[in-house]
Amino acid sequence: MKLTSPVFTNNQKLPEKYTCKGEGISPPFEIYEIPEGSQSLALVLKDPDAPMSTFIHWLVWNISPDIENILENTVPTGSVEGTNSAGQNHYFSPCPPSGQHRYVFNLYALDTTLTLPPEATVSDFEQITQGHILEETTLTGIYP
Q: Which tens digits make up the pLDDT trace of 19-78? A: 999 999 999 999 999 999 999 999 999 999 999 999 999 999 999 999 999 999 999 999
What digits encode the pLDDT tens for the residues 88-118? 999 999 999 999 999 999 999 999 999 999 9
Q: Can you give the pLDDT at residue 134? A: 98
Long-range contacts of 70-78 (CB under 8 A, 24+ apart): 70/26, 70/28, 70/29, 70/31, 70/43, 71/28, 72/7, 72/25, 72/26, 72/27, 72/28, 73/23, 73/25, 73/26, 74/26
Q: How confident is the model at residue 144 (pLDDT cuts 50, 70, 90)?
A: very high
Per-residue model confidence (pLDDT) at position 112: 98
Task: Determine whether 6 is exposed, middle or buried from the number of CB atoms within 10 Å of its CB (0-12, 13-18, 19+).
Answer: exposed
For 2-143, the fitting CATH number among 2.130.10.10, 3.90.280.10, 3.40.50.300, 3.40.50.20 is: 3.90.280.10
pTM: 0.97
pLDDT of residue 19: 98
Phi, psi of 112 (to 5 degrees): -155, 170
Every domain of the chain and the residues it spans: 2-143
